[in-house]
Amino acid sequence: MRRACAAGVLILVMIGSNGCLFEPRTAEEPSGTELYPWVVPYVFGDVLRNLSTGLASNVDSNYQRSLDDAAFTFIPTDADAISIGPEKFAGWNKAVENEWLRRIKTLYLGARTVRFGDEGGNFTSKIEQTNRVVLEGEYEIGLEPTAGAPKEVYAGIARFTLVRGTQGWVMAEWRDLEASGTNPTSGYLRGTLRQ
């Protein structure tokens, strides 16, 4: 029993030894001002706003905090899965989306925008329940490789499932349904940039 207690103490020491077990690097004091404030997602529309500012901003937290920790997934169109390969979309979860976001921000250093719904922000279908909303409609992602450079447009029709989790509303699923016009889809953007 004493040995069990000793082992338990060892565990507690390890848990409590914040900063002793590992030595991370020291961060620099921040510079500049925050252009994209976080909106606490009391209503589901706030999730779309935080995703938009999270993509535009150089910092990632608005986008990352808008995704469901456990359930977030992305599902491509059949055409993208065949074109790029289903293995590029396998097990797409929040960690994969975060890596994809970081890659986007290293490739597109100019303006980054995302629009959910048509130009008026409307969706073709909206199913609302108390803790779950399913939106279906257009989206458009615009990315400038450098500031002022011609914008790359990724667009399509998708179904967005938003749920109310323990930290407010979050996105649980982004399912691409179709391409829109001649633009490549978000699935193409995701699949080709998966690390």
**Contact positions with other proteins (CB under 8 A) in 76-115:** 78-80, 82-84, 102-103, 105-107
Least spacing, CB of residue 73 vs other proteins, in Å? 16
- Taking the C-alpha atoms of residue 139 and residue 119, their distance in angstroms, rounded to an integer, is 9
Contacting residue, 14, 90, 95, 149, with other proteins by CB under 8 A: 14
- Mode of pairing for the β-strands spanning 132-143 and 125-128: antiparallel
Identify which of 91, 49, 83, 90 has the alpha carbon closest to the alpha carbon of residue 66: 49
Is position 3 an interface residue for other proteins (rule: CB under 8 A)? Answer: yes
Q: Which helix (H) or strand (E) holds 112?
A: strand 112-116
Nearer to other proteins, 48 or 188 (CB): 188
Contacting residue, 8, 87, 121, 149, with other proteins by CB under 8 A: 8
Q: Are 177 and 136 in contact (CB under 8 A)?
A: yes
Is position 42 an interface residue for other proteins (rule: CB under 8 A)? Answer: yes
Least spacing, CB of residue 152 vs other proteins, in Å? 9
Residue 175 phi/psi, 5-degree rounding, is -115, 110
Residues 123-182 that bind other proteins (CB under 8 A): 125, 127-130, 136, 138, 156-157, 166-168, 177-182
Residues 50-69 that bind other proteins (CB under 8 A): 58-61, 65
The footprint of other proteins on this chain (CB under 8 A) covers a number of residues equal to: 73
The runs of H, that is alpha helices, within 17-72 are: 44-56, 61-64
